[in-house]
Every structure is written in structure tokens, then in C-alpha cells.
Amino acid sequence: MAAKKHGDLLKEVMAEFNEAADLLKLDANLRERLSHPRRILIVSCPINMDDGTVRTFEGYRVQYNITRGPAKGGIRFHPEVDLNETIALAALMTWKCAVVNIPYGGAKGGVRVDPTTMSMKEIEHLTRRYTWEISPMIGPEKDIPAPDMNTNERHMAWIMDTFSIIKGYSVAGVVTGKPISIGGSAGRREATGRGVVYNIIEAANELDIDLTKKTAAVQGFGNVGSVAARLLAQTGCKIVAVSDVKGGIYSSKGLDIHDVLDYTAKNTYLEGYKNADVISNDDLLTCDCDILIPAALGGQITKDNAPNIKASMIVEGANGPTTSEADGILNNKGVFIIPDILANAGGVVVSYFEWVQDLQAFFWHEKEINDKLRSIISNAYKSVRSMAKDKKVSNRMAALMLGIGRVAECARIRGLRP
Ligand code: NAD
């Protein structure tokens, strides 16, 4: 999704939907059906705070579409969460699951809260109460949440536990991104970064690029960015720059990623790392490199910095890192963009594997998971590229057309009752 300043996201998502629908010559009735979220639940979560007061937080769960299977999408705890943003993100999840052709619809949930101001106990209370409130809507056969901004394995364990208490038995398949000890999947933690790198390998094969002769810069050194940097370095590609919220580091000779990972394991941030030069996040985006991987926040590549970007390939690990204006500038410059709904889909693919394993109560080895992920990403990449060449559109529009086209075809063939 090329987007997005907060507040405009839904407008942007619908504008892109309409552009893709025009190019697909989508039947007007199908367009009408796919323009609306299927179900929305708004909840109030009153929480006993540590100081004895009660505060009430507003939360949402949106199932945008369930035509291809149960709804799937993360739960975000953030002060800027609102209903429109949640609808937009649920729509994007719908197209993303369809691009990688896994049998899910799309959903998103969130609570408008700043968790950084709360204790773990308060956050646990909030997670459990929110789960309780949305429990009529979720379940392994209905809607399967996962981590998103400011939620992680810890929250997923609380959700699984709360939902299981309501049911009276353990329901592992109600969420993904859980700890392995309660039904999580091997390889889930690395899956998004791994999917980013599988996409780059596909592009290198298609475009005849020798990765051992290329350099890359990665913005964001969290889950997605650090795994992408580590695995990309394994291909022989030189990682020249990485950054986090406090700034970045750069070395034209290439960073020793394992040394950097050891450093952040001890010091949390890259700040103070000695074996490289210090650069800002802005400098990282425009530094001398062949491949740029934004893997931090949305809206980082803008009309102001896009003209100065030197990378010839951008692989969107983050959701919506490129504004629409920047997207136009980069397309005119001929930059090869692997859009977020393809580039970062590895996470939801391995979430799907986690859910399948939970339903079967039979768990796979990591190699099997990575091989299956590779095959799904490879097929999705090839389908997007073939759509892009066929219809003479950008990779981003091709991915949207592929995803929206698949959802529309399911809706058409299932028909409309009554
Ligand atoms: P994370 O919290 O693990 O890491 C985020 C990283 O970005 C951290 O290193 C943080 O310091 C850095 N960062 C924060 N603000 C920044 C700023 N202003 N400038 C530069 N760096 C900044 O998060 P994550 O799970 O790695 O997710 C990163 C992005 O990938 C998000 O956009 C997320 O929506 C997207 N994504 C994640 C997954 C997943 O499975 N984790 C799946 C799909 C998409």
C-alpha cells in the first residue's frame, strides 16, 4: 500500500482499491460488495489501574472480508488507533492474504491506548478484557488475531488463555504468533524478515542480479529489519547501513551483522556501536546502496526524500513506508519496488502454518516451514510480476489487482444470498 499519513489511510486504501477495480474492469456489483467492511465491533474496555482508578479504553475488531476463509489480522495497541484506520488495515489484510493465496479473509483489531505509560499488569488486564469483549467474533474457524504494533507473543498467550477460559478448553488456534510452548510455530518470529529476503532472491533471479556484488540498507532493526539484514547478508549481499528509532550506522565496507546483533542484544539500541560511522535515519534512506529495505514505520519515504534515493530496488518490509507522492516519483525514476502486501507477507503465511498445525495438533520442523514459505512467496512473486508485465502496471498495482481479483472471483462464484 502506498500511503499514508494517519487519517488519510482509509481514503488512500479505497482510492487504490478503485484504481485496481478499474484496471480489472470489475463488475459494478462486485465492486460495491468489496467496498464495504463485512463486520465491525466497537468495544469499551474498563480497566482497574494500579492507582485504584478505573480507565476505559475503546477498542475495535473489523472483519473486512471473509469470502475466502476466516478473517485474519493483527491487534494493535497505539494511541492513534481509530475505526477508519482499523477498517483500512483490515482491507489491506484481505488483499495481502489473497496475494499469497492463503485461505483467509482480512481483519484488524486495535485498542486506542498508549501502552508505554502502563504497567505489565495493566496491559494484561486490558488484553484480557479486550479479548473478552471481542470473543463472540473470534475463534479458529471465524477470525484469528495476531500480533501487530505494541503487541507480541506475551499478549497472544493472554488472548489464547482468556478465550480458552471462556470456552472451557484450550483453543490454540484462536491466535497466531504465540509462544511455541502453547502451540506457536517454529520459524514464525523470523518469518516476515525471511519473506522479505525470499522476495529479493526472486527479484535477483528474475532480473539477473548478482547479490554478492550488491549493497543494502535497512531502516528499522527490530523483528523484520534485523532478520532481513541477517539473512540478506547470508546471500553475500553487503549490508552497508542499518538504523533504529535513535539513528543509524553506516560502513561502506559492509557491517558485520552478527557483531551488530550481539551489540543490540546487550545494548538494545545501535547507539554507541563503535565499528561504523553514525548516520541519521534520513541519511540512511538516501545513502549509497542498491537495495533499500524500509522496515520501521509507515510514511518514511516521502516526496521530499524520494528524489534523492539512490537504491534501484526498494523492498517494503514495513506496512505503508512509501507515500503515494513518493511512489509516483520512484516509479518515474524506474526504481523496482516490491510492495508491502507482497514483501512482508511472510509473517501471515507462517501464521497460517501455525493455525494449520494447531488445528491438526501436529507440529512441523522449521526446515519444512521455511521451504513451504519459500514456495508460497516464489509463486506470489511470479504471479505479481506476470500481472505487472501483462497489464503494464507497477508491482504495487499488480499485487492489488491480483489480491482484489482473487477475492472478487470467490465472491462471484459463491453468489449472493438471498
Ligand atoms: P519492531 O518493533 O520489532 O521494530 C521496529 C524497528 O523500527 C525498531 O528497530 C525501532 O527502533 C525502529 N523504529 C521505530 N521508529 C523509528 C523511526 N522513526 N525511524 C527509524 N526506525 C524506527 O517492529 P517489527 O515487527 O519489526 O515491524 C516493523 C514494520 O514491519 C512495521 O511497519 C510492521 O507493521 C511491519 N510488519 C511486521 C510484521 C511482523 O511479523 N513483525 C509483519 C508485517 C509487517
Burial class (CB in 10 A: 0-12, 13-18, 19+), 361: exposed
Q: Is 340 in the pocket of ligand 1 (CB under 6 A)?
A: no
Residues 6+ apart with CB under 8 A from 348: 72, 93, 96, 97, 100, 102, 104, 146
Residue 223 Cα to ligand 1 midpoint, Å, equals 7
Ligand 1: does its nearest atom lie under 6 Å from the Cβ of 150? no
Distance 58 CA to ligand 1 centre (A): 24
Tell me, what's the pLDDT at 4? 46
Alpha-carbon torsion 268, 273, 276, 277, what sign? positive
Q: What does the alpha-carbon distance between residue 286 and residue 284 come to, in Å, rounded to a whole number?
A: 5
Determine the 3-state secondary structure of 76 from DSSP. Answer: strand
Cα(353)–Cα(104) distance, integer angstroms? 12
Return the pLDDT at 22. 98
Full pLDDT tens readout for the chain, 418 residues: 554 444 478 998 999 999 999 999 999 999 999 999 999 999 999 999 999 999 999 999 999 999 999 999 999 999 999 999 999 999 999 999 999 999 999 999 999 999 999 999 999 999 999 999 999 999 999 999 999 989 999 999 999 999 999 999 999 999 999 999 999 999 999 999 999 999 999 999 999 999 999 999 999 999 999 999 999 999 999 999 999 999 999 999 999 999 999 999 999 999 999 999 999 999 999 999 999 999 998 899 999 999 999 999 999 999 999 999 999 999 999 999 999 999 999 999 999 999 999 999 999 999 999 999 999 999 999 999 999 999 999 999 999 999 999 999 999 999 998 8
141 burial via Cβ count (<10 Å: 0-12, 13-18, 19+): exposed
Supply angle C-alpha 108, 413, 21, rounded to 5. Answer: 60
CA distance 157 to 172: 9
pLDDT at site 8: 79
The predicted structure's pLDDT at residue 275: 96
pLDDT given at position 5: 46
Which residue, chain included where needed, has cell 507477507? Answer: 345
Q: CB–CB of 57/45 below 8 Å?
A: yes
**Cα distances (angstroms) measured from residue 191 to each of 186, 194, 228, 315, 352:** 9, 5, 9, 15, 11
86 within ligand 1 shell (Cβ under 6 A): no
CA of 412 to the centre of ligand 1 (A): 37
Does residue 228 line the site of ligand 1, with CB under 6 A? no
Listed residue (231, 211, 383, 220) closest to 316, CA to CA: 220
pLDDT of residue 2: 55
Active-site positions? 108
CA 108-296-68 angle, 5° bins:
30
Residue spans of alpha helices (H) in 208-339: 223-234, 257-267, 281-285, 324-333
With a 6 Å cutoff on the Cβ, whether 245 touches ligand 1 is yes
Nearest ligand 1 atom to alpha carbon 221: 9
Tell how strand 215-219 and strand 238-244 pair up. parallel
